[in-house]
Amino acid sequence: MRKKKIIAAVSIGLAAAVSVFAQDEWTTEKALDMIWLFLGASLVFVMQTGFALLETGLTRAKNAANIVMKNLMDFCIGAIIYWAIGWGLMYGADAFGGLIGASDFFKNVMDDPIYYRDWFFQVVFAATSATIVSGAMAERTQFKSYLIYTCFISAAIYPISGHWIWGGGWLAKLGFHDFAGSTVVHSVGGWAALMGALVLGPRTGKYTKGPDGKTLIKAFPGHSMPLAMTGVFLLWFGWYGFNGASTLSGSSPDIARVCVTTTLAAASGAIGALSTSWIWFKKPDVSMSMNGALAGLVSITAPCSIVSPAASIAIGLIGGIIVVLSVEFIDKVLKIDDPVGASSVHLSCGIWGTLAVGIWGNVEGTAIGLLHGGGAAQLGIQALGIVSVGAWAALTSLILFLLIKACVGLRVSQKEELQGLDINEHKADAYAGFQIFSNM
């Protein structure tokens, strides 16, 4: 399946136990893997709920129904497309020297439990990448245009760079290491999020000129911190499947290390962002702390299987600091309006986590990190992967959004935006009966 295993399988015992069975029989080891990947995939599916709640909570009440609809439908459309096209491009037989997969489109077999199992585990990763974007493009995107975007990221953008790394493509052959997807999933989604927000432009009223000619930056506070925090907790919960089950083997002893490093990095990420915001803004900031936990999780996703507890604390803590700096930089300097900070969490920390592999990577027999005498080779390979996947994802999604903008339009009218997308795009009211201030 998808990843080159750096760590040699320790499970001599299991191997011996199953050796009495022929290759194609359903051994205990296969049964364990099946349960394990089922569990992992189900947990990663929960992350869809997490994203929906996080993005809803951090944006305004008048767009809440639209956001949850985008989260539902990008999974639904993405799943069908990933079955039809994406899977074949990502895990089909290699073509053009590691550039794409090219078989198994519309795969409609009945008796292939390994394919079924792997597709189920992979589709939820594809959906994660797609759904990262909805937050960055929140509160001003046409619903139908968003659905068009979601087709293309699930069909081609995500699967093709995914093939390079997890499908046995050219980056895999070079030894690029991304255990659970800091680059494969998060950076790709993060680049698309940043390009989407750039092409769309900021929400009306976000950046205005003051009487003195200086730019005034308005914050639009989210409408439900409890929902957003529930989203963070559910994302964290789902991440145990995202990282843990990326061992791909239910009989791997590495499962536990992954869980410990994931927990510690998420925790230190939140602490890093809380502290940074407390010092900088003089108050322990709620949305920064939430994004800090997610920053820790994104940062540890690539190296989680090959770093120590102390290293995971460092990686998470730095991720938590990075996310605050990145949010401020993208908002205040680049003036790109990403309402939930998706590009900072998934792109900036995705890059950081991928680099961390080359710094702290260290497991018996494979000390690839700088700090463990592994030299700069791995770090170079990691950087090459970041740049090449970044170029691919940024360029293709930029072109895609420009094309959508030119052909069908990307943005709702200003009047619709000010009234809210719920009523204009869905004839819906997310909170019927509640008194909500009309200018929010």
Which of helix, strand or coil describes residue 105? coil
For residue 101, report the phi and psi dihedrals to the nearest 5 degrees.
Answer: -90, 155
CB of 354 to its own copies, least distance (A): 21
Among 3, 54, 88, 117, the residue binding its own copies under the rule CB under 8 A is 117
Among 93, 217, 279, 310, the residue binding its own copies under the rule CB under 8 A is 310
Containing 101, the helix (H) or strand (E) segment is: strand 100-101
Tokens of 188: 């790709």
Please give the DSSP secondary-structure letter assigned to residue 62: G
428 is an interface residue for its own copies by CB under 8 A = yes
Tokens of 205: 């009223």
Give the span between the Cα atoms of 11 and 247, in whole angstroms: 13
440 is an interface residue for its own copies by CB under 8 A = yes
Output Rg (C-alpha) for the chain, integer angstroms: 22
CB distance 440 to 62 below 8 Å: yes
362 is an interface residue for its own copies by CB under 8 A = yes
Residues across the chain: 440
If binding means CB under 8 A, how many residues of this protein chain bind its own copies? Answer: 128
Helices 113-136 and 158-165, packing angle to 10 deg: 120
Give the span between the Cα atoms of 179 and 4, in whole angstroms: 9
Among 284, 375, 380, 409, the residue binding its own copies under the rule CB under 8 A is 284
Q: Which residues, numbered 407-426, are part of the site for its own copies (CB under 8 A)? A: 422, 425-426
309 is an interface residue for its own copies by CB under 8 A = yes
Q: Which residues, numbered 188-247, are part of the site for its own copies (CB under 8 A)? A: 221-227, 229-230, 232-234, 236-237, 240-241, 244
CB of 212 to its own copies, least distance (A): 25
131 is an interface residue for its own copies by CB under 8 A = no
370 is an interface residue for its own copies by CB under 8 A = no
CB of 253 to its own copies, least distance (A): 4
Q: CA angle 152-153-159, nearest 5°?
A: 110
Q: Which is nearer to its own copies, 106 or 209 (CB)?
A: 106
53 is an interface residue for its own copies by CB under 8 A = yes
Give the span between the Cα atoms of 394 and 192, in whole angstroms: 6
**Per-residue x/- track, 375-414, its own copies (CB under 8 A):** ----------------------------------------
Q: Which is nearer to its own copies, 60 or 386 (CB)?
A: 60
Which of helix, strand or coil describes residue 27? coil
87 is an interface residue for its own copies by CB under 8 A = no
